[in-house]
Amino acid sequence: EDGGLIVSFGEMLIDFVPTVSGVSLAEAPGFLKAPGGAPANVAIAVSRLGGKSAFVGKLGDDEFGHMLAGILKENGVCGEGINFDKGARTALAFVTLKADGDREFMFYRNPSADMLLTPDELNLELIRSAKVFHYGSISLIVEPCRSAHLKAMEVAKDAGALLSYDPNLRLPLWPSPEEAREQIMSIWDKAEVIKVSDNELEFLTGCEKIDDEAAMSLWHPNLKLLLVTLGDKGCNYYTKNFHGTVGAFAVKAVDTTGAGDSFVGALLTKIVDDHSVLEDEGKLKELLRYACACGAITTTKKGAIPALPTVSEVHGFLKE
Ligand code: ADP
């Protein structure tokens, strides 16, 4: 079967993760290099799950940038939409693992190459060939990547792609919470599929109670599917005609990084060739069970990209 192309737009970076937790960045005895960036994770998730995948974004023309481009390529993700900036360097995140399991980030982005993608540099031919165009990153924050983001969305939409959005709110990256909310809401009514986490729902609505009413307050007329991910409680889904919950799989989670991206990758891989799932609750629930399985598997291994499952892993997991 010849699947339609899923294009993911946004940033890709390297997380430097300390080899021990509970110490400051300066005291860490060593770091592991973990490639990440939500849109890039989604691009790889799609490809591992058998979908046709491309990534659009900008990397530094440095060792890290070429390493990341290599990782996309190894994973079967089309790199024709990748630009390399001659001056700025690849984005980096330095992680502190706190004793309570929380993570703190320090970013190298002043500016990093991903922020310098211009509208003129976009590979429009590639974007026009997308059947699904997925975005969800901090590329809304500053120019010129903000204009590139808006143009890419428009071009994909005009060419008939289904637009999929995951705000991926990482508040420390935004100038202020107000600006984050404003910028996210400025593109809210363009997407036909939106995935938010329960925390993002709380942030965007200002509601403390994460219920159907809070979710539906974010509904807009172009929307076909709204998903609220709930970690080990699964996800809630909302369409124009029905809504409900799909429970999570019980697993021993060791690192939840990338679970949401794995979930989205699975969802898009299934939707790209069959939009009827958006109107058929039975089909949608089956799809979301698959997506929850992908999310669950991803939590059982360390890191995001190394933990993204292949089709056969998911089938094995679902048979157990
Ligand atoms: P996000 O990155 O959006 O916050 P979540 O952490 O909610 O994403 O994870 C996405 C999906 O992955 C969830 O809907 C769930 O199905 C699955 N998942 C996440 N954490 C766990 C967990 N601890 N146990 C089982 N499944 C999980």
Overall average pLDDT of the 6-19 stretch = 94
Phi, psi of 63 (to 5 degrees): -55, -45
CATH code of the domain containing 186: 3.40.1190.20
Mean pLDDT of 243-268: 96
Instruction: Of 258, 253, 244, 252, give the one whose Cα is nearest residue 289.
Output: 244
Q: Is the pLDDT of residue 1 over 70?
A: no
| Ligand 1 pocket member 197 (CB < 6 A) | yes
Q: Domain tally for the chain?
A: 1
Q: Is the predicted pLDDT of residue 285 greater than 70, yes or no? A: yes
Which residues in 272-297 are b (16+ Cβ under 10 Å) and which e? beeeebbeeeeebbebbebbbbbbbb
Closest to 39 in 3D by CA, of 258, 232, 226: 258
Tell me how far the alpha carbon of residue 259 lies from the centroid of ligand 1, in angstroms: 5
pLDDT band at 75 (very low <50, low <70, confident <90, very high): very high
Over residues 152-204, the pLDDT tens digits come to 999 999 999 999 999 999 877 888 999 999 999 999 999 999 999 999 999 99
Atom 26 in ligand 1: residue holding the nearest Cα = 296
Q: How far is the CA of 263 from the centre of ligand 1 (A)?
A: 8
Element (H, E) at 102: none
- Active-site residue flag, 114: no
Distance CA 262, CA 69 (A): 19
**Residue 239 counted as domain residue:** yes
Cβ pair 157, 33 in contact under 8 A: no
Q: Domain for residue 269, yes or no?
A: yes
Helix (H) or strand (E) holding 67: helix 63-74
pTM metric for this prediction: 0.96
Higher-pLDDT residue of 97, 307? 307
Asked if the model's pLDDT at residue 45 lies above 60, the reply is yes
pLDDT at residue 287 greater than cutoff 90: yes
The pLDDT of 292-312, averaged and rounded, is 95
232 lines ligand 1 (CB under 6 A): yes
The amino acid present at 10, given as its one-letter code, is G
> Which residue's CA is minimally distant from atom 16 of ligand 1?
292
Nearest to 151 by CA among 114, 181, 130, 124: 124
- Residue 12: predicted pLDDT: 96
End-to-end CA distance of the chain: 27
Read off the pLDDT band of 302 (50, 70, 90): confident
What is the reported pLDDT for 315?
A: 97
Question: Which amino acid does the sequence have at 5?
Answer: L
- Summary mean pLDDT of the chain: 94
Is any ligand 1 atom within 6 A of the Cβ of residue 202? no
CA–CA separation, 274 and 212 (whole Å): 26
pLDDT tops 90 at residue 207:
no
Q: What is the rounded average pLDDT of the residues 271-290?
A: 97
Distance CA 69, CA 247 (A): 35
312 part of a folded domain:
yes
Catalytic residue, candidates 85, 114, 166, 261: 261
Calculate how far, in angstroms, residue 44's C-alpha sits from the geometric centre of ligand 1. 18
Q: How confident is the model over 70-77, as a mean pLDDT? A: 98
Within a domain: residue 189? yes
16 close to 94: Cβ distance less than 8 angstroms:
yes
pLDDT(2) > 70 = no
Ligand 1 atom closest to residue 249's alpha carbon, by position in its atom list: 25
Cis peptide before 221 (omega within 30 of 0): no
| 158 domain residue, yes or no | yes
Nearest in space to 55 (alpha carbons), one of 14, 7, 113: 7
Residue 89 within a domain: no
Ligand 1 pocket check for 304: Cβ under 6 Å: no
Amino acid at 43: A
Residue nearest to atom 23 of ligand 1 (CA): 232
| Residue 210 CB–ligand 1 contact under 6 Å | no
Q: For residue 210, is pLDDT > 90?
A: no
Residue 25 or 224, more confident: 224
Closest CA to 230 of 241, 242, 214, 219: 214
Query: Which residue has the CA at smallest separation from atom 15 of ligand 1?
Result: 234
Whether 59 and 68 have beta carbons less than 8 Å apart is answered as: yes
**Does 177 reside within a domain?**
yes
Range of the domain at 53: 5-11+38-59+76-84+111-319
Say what percent of the chain tops pLDDT 90: 82
Q: What is the mean pLDDT of residues 249-265?
A: 95
Is 20 a member of any domain?
no
